[in-house]
Structure 1
Amino acid sequence: MFSKIEHVEDKVVHYSDIVLEYATEYGLKILGALLIFFIGKWVARKVVTLMGAGMARAHVDSTLISFASNALYVALIVIVIVAAISNIGVETTSFIAVFGAAGLAIGLALKDTLANVGAAVLIIFFRPFKVGDFIEASGVMGNVKSINLFSTTLTTADNRSIIIPNGALIAGNIINYTGNHTRRIDMAFVIDYKDDLKVAKEVVKNVLQTHAKVLNDPEPIVAVGALERDGVQLIARPWVAVDDYWNVMFEITESVKLEFDKHKITVPFPQMDLHVKRGEL
């Protein structure tokens, strides 16, 4: 009986030694892998932060800074993960091969999503617009709120958020209303045929020339645009700074109407004359 007990004790000791051996060997490796991962992640964040600060000091566009920072962080994290796995003893060559095959399969399944990523790269580097610009694309208009790897978010004038996939955005025409420093306002006013045309032109020209935010170069233009059915069309073409576009347009429209009233210049409206003929009963 004592021999059986001793035999069991020997087995327990044997398995304990095995467990201790594996725990010592792989426990240290796992601990080392965890240290590599957390320290590597901390270093990756510091590197990305330093790079972003350096690009900001160099006055690089904020959109490009965000894109480059995200791309660098992902690349560094992948390197850290591979190093941590390698420390455990996993063969990284085969792991990378499996990862590549899985990446290929995922890429084929998500080709439309990857197309959006490719479009984001084109937007970032060719810069048809940037964050803060007012654009028209994919049938909608708004200020560019953000650009990420998959989509672009616009904020409309009535404060709605519109998310457009980058692939669809880059595939169509893009109109950037704030891409330049100045912009022309195209305005049209219609006066009655009975009014003095020269006086009306002088009134409009004086409103444009006296407005503080209308630029002198290029010089604003006032001309006859068309002889319409209801009156004479005057066109006005003032140039303003991009940020002043809407305010100036509203102010000029109001000022022209008030000046027309002072000079007895009428603004016609569509009307119909009905002539009734009395026939013999």
Structure 2
Amino acid sequence: MSTESVGKAATLSDGLTHAENWLLDHSDLLIQYGVNIISAILILFIGNLVVKAIAKSVSKVLNSKQMDKAVVEFISAIVRYLLFVIVLIAALSRIGVQTASVVAVIGAAGLAIGLALQGSLSNFAAGVLIVAFRPFKSGDYVEVGGVAGSVQAIHIFQTILKSPDNKMVVVPNSSVIGGAITNYSKHETRRVDLTVGVSYSADLQLTKKVIRETLEKDLRILKDPDITIGVLALADSSVNFVVRPWCKTSDYWPVYYDSIQAIKEALDENGIEIPFPQVDVHMSKS
């Protein structure tokens, strides 16, 4: 064996010896760090399971009190996130990170993130207001932020709607609170607004009678409030009647469509003309 090979072997042997000595000298410290790291991992794992269980229990309790589904989901999410932050701090403290320092760092990071994400914080605050004042609940058909749909869920930052053509619409909570909220499902009854135009030559009293008798045949139309029928305008080509029956909110669209068809058929049967736009041209000989 050459002198160079012997030197390399000796150097390697010395390195291994130093490593073994260092491991022996610091074995207690390494074991302590290993135990702390494993403990931190267990805290995260078990804590996450406990957080999910607590959030699930909160949901069950709120559901048992017959709270709105959207509100239950919102509160459950808040509880889950807050508890997970506590678990994370406990895990970090286990590996030697000072809890006070962690809280300070989280506070500073929260301030920086808050300044950078002011829109998100406004959405969160708006979500809290929605849950607190409850202008609508899960399943209501509403118009918010310029869009309409059935409320599916209220999340921390946005409200989820389902449009009538089965599209998911995500509306930021700040847009919901910042504009007008129209809740079409809030009350049990709703008025159906129709406009019916008839010819200027039509008998107006007969027209009102035919429309009323037609609508009164529909059992879905309520007796109280009474049906409103009156002349709305003398338009360019027709006399326009306003027709306003009342029905249950759940029957609104079926009553709307069926009433239009029934009125058209009844007017035809009684010889009452529904005119189309027309222009009279008078010609004179010069």
TM-score in terms of structure 2 length: 0.89
**Structure 1 residue ranges without an equivalent (≥5):** none
* Corresponding residue to 1:243 among 223, 246, 250: 250
Q: CA deviation at 1:9?
A: 8.1
Q: Structure 1 residues 5 and 161, CA, compared in 2 at 3 Å: closer, same or farther?
A: closer
Q: Structure 1 residues 158 and 10, CA, compared in 2 at 3 Å: closer, same or farther?
A: closer
Q: CA deviation at 1:221?
A: 1.9
Percent identity between the aligned chains?
37
Does the residue aligned with 1:162 lie in a helix, a strand or coil? strand
The aligned residue for residue 207 of structure 1 is 214
After the TM superposition, which residues 31-46 of structure 1 pair with which residues of structure 2 at under 5 Å, given as runs?
31-46=38-53
The aligned residue for residue 77 of structure 1 is 84
The aligned residue for residue 149 of structure 1 is 156
The aligned residue for residue 122 of structure 1 is 129
Residues in 2 aligned to 1:8 and 1:220: alpha-carbon distance in whole angstroms: 99
The aligned residue for residue 273 of structure 1 is 280
What residue identity is the alignment partner of 2:183?
N
RMSD: 2.2
What residue identity is the alignment partner of 1:151?
Q
**Structure 2 residue ranges without an equivalent (≥5):** 1-10
Deviates more, 1:14-23 or 1:85-94: 14-23
Q: Deviations over 1:25-55 (max 9, x none)?
A: 1111111112222111111111111111111
The aligned residue for residue 5 of structure 2 is none
* Corresponding residue to 1:189 among 185, 196, 206: 196
The aligned residue for residue 55 of structure 1 is 62
What residue identity is the alignment partner of 1:267?
I
What residue identity is the alignment partner of 1:49?
K
Residues in 1 aligned to 2:161 and 2:95: alpha-carbon distance in whole angstroms: 47
Deviates more, 1:90-99 or 1:132-141: 132-141
Deviates more, 1:130-139 or 1:101-110: 130-139
| Alignment pair present for 1:24 and 2:31 | yes
Does the residue aligned with 1:63 lie in a helix, a strand or coil? helix
Q: Structure 1 residues 5 and 165, CA, compared in 2 at 3 Å: closer, same or farther?
A: closer
Residues in 2 aligned to 1:183 and 1:252: alpha-carbon distance in whole angstroms: 15
The aligned residue for residue 261 of structure 1 is 268
TM-score in terms of structure 1 length: 0.90
Q: Structure 1 residues 96 and 5, CA, compared in 2 at 3 Å: closer, same or farther?
A: closer
